[in-house]
Structure 1
Amino acid sequence: MRVVAAMSGGVDSAVAAARMLDAGHDVVGVHLALSTSAATLRESARGCCTLEDAGDARRVADRLGIPFYVWDMAARFRADVVEDFVQEYAAGRTPNPCLRCNERIKFAALLDKALALGFDGVATGHYAQVVEEVGADGTVRRELHRAVDPAKDQSYVLGVLDADQLARSFFPLGDSTKPQTREEAADRGFAVAKKPDSHDICFIADGDTRGWLAGRLGEQPGEIVDETGSVVGSHQGAYAYTVGQRRGLGLGRPAADGQPRYVVDVDVPRNQVVIGPADLLGIDAIRGDHARWCGEPPAGEVEVGAQLRAHGEELPARAWVDGDDVQVRLQERTRGVAPGQSVVLYDGTRVVGSATIAETWRT
């Protein structure tokens, strides 16, 4: 097969490209230029789109002896990921930009361009597995499963892939642990073998999400109120708060009962941040929209595992399709679930699909 290997400049994508080549595929390395000002990002930035990263990817490709290109997708990334991120926070939601990037850039824009150029698919350094199941009629169905290494499993951020995208996707690292990947990179002579992992949000190099948002949305002073509606403080922008947040509230006095207080709601129309005790954070019902299915959607009500954060615990639940929405009922209450986050559903290790959390409540 002719395969595009998405090379971020890190150790994972380097080894993924090498394994695809070892498997006999015709591999071309591609680095995505996602920033219009990559030179302004500090070295070893939290992201994967600096000039340093592009150079690291090129050196790996040279060592492998494969063609290498840089594809400029900065405008698409800005519109589909960065502006979406700002709009979601402005609406009082808490988005996950990694899922949006996978959905709209790596497995939409990148894959579409690769297919248009005659390639058969895209390989990335994500830790997940693709399992092929042969049906009774002989048709082959590709399923997305968790990686063998729970500590590195990235199936959550791949839960946005649909069946067609999954059919063209390759994840060569799904059967490995991170130490094994680094050891293999060192054995192959890759200079990135000891390169630190990228963290947090790639387009916010200093990690200051609140300051970054303030620079784009400006100050929007408002009230912080408790669950009774009493004003207990003020804020400079409700977009800087998320459900479940405890630190950085800037309250002048403790609660009467001395217990910690958390953000329990971000009321955008009133420009209010509502705080309350931890008990008010508990929810066990979720309505999700923007559903994405890695195969056929569930038929009727099914038992699933529901994961609500990239590195969160899988919770037992029941789920069903409700028109354009997905309804999820957790067997136990959990805390700190914010609209805008994603719920990814599992059947054992298999990813069923995902949805964006639109509403939560207690049954």
Structure 2
Amino acid sequence: ALPQISETKVGLLHVFIQHTSASLTLNENADPDVRHDLEQAFNHLAPESFPHTHTCEGPDDMPAHVKASLLGASLSIPVCDGRLALGTWQGITLCEHRNHAGGRRNAPLMYRTLAGCALLACASLATAQDGAGDSAVFVPDNALTPNSTTAVEASGDNELPIATTPSEANGWTKLFNGKDLTGWTASENKDTFKVEDGLIVVHGDRSHLFYTGDVNDGEFKDFELWVEVQTEPQANSGVYFHTEYQETDWPMKGYEVQVNQSHGDPRKTGGLYGIVDVMDVSPVEDGDWYVEHITVKGKHITVRVNGKVTVDYTEPEGVEREGRMAGRKIDKGTFALQGHDPGSVVRFRQIWVKPLD
């Protein structure tokens, strides 16, 4: 995100879109059905079948202008303690109203107070949009020094969606302090997990790092979990939830969200391992920092990778599974990070949780 955000105690982020057939809105970001229903509602309000006069770019031309006028071209979001002070379910959404649009350009501006003076940082942000629909707004990590103006593409190693970035103001709590493994317990081969330069580095024989700290007494049922991950080539790992400490072997209890871009296992990043798999092609690449955002509400599990839904799964009532999959059930428990094998090198940095029960 804009570095000025993390440096800001109290401020205001203003985002402006430089187009007349796309818009910005602030709405629920947890359930993708909300965006679908909003699109249906606006299509009803501004149908292509209406006898418009302005149709020089096709039947979707004027309806796009109407929808953009209804939603607006800018948003202002307060910043508190280096984070966007969004509500629990709020997210920033870029709404594309054309059926086949090109790139979209936004101008995010960051206002903050520094030693009694106003400081403004401005960036142009191009977001590629292929076809109709909504997309999250992204602000790249490689922008900007204060008072500079630079055009940057919305693709790169360290971009994270700002729509759901956690903050303590929004009910999130850090599980990793960035200094040591306080609150975490490794199983067999404990040297597999180390903290280096503020990161959890995973490299060594099979081991699992279980959260055993004080947050929520180390037990979570309904929650949101935010984990930032980076892998080296041929690495395999995973993020477990609803699990429990186990000294040896692979965890038998709980679900695993896969971490794997190029390891030989065909199950790739973002899948619910063995249940709803992302096969063969990972949505991200080795070397890039990305977010796995896991939400569990009742029997419903949603996994997002950099804001894109990769799993939308509701566990059937009374489900029974066999063998090593018998423990793959919604229950309650803790989280664990996987050290898969000596050839895998994986890094974790920000790990946040927001209990929902």
Tell me if both proteins adopt one fold, taking TM over 0.5 as the criterion.
Answer: no
More strand by share: 2
TM-score of the pair, normalised by structure 2: 0.28
Name the one with the larger helix percent: 1
| TM-score normalised according to structure 1 size | 0.28
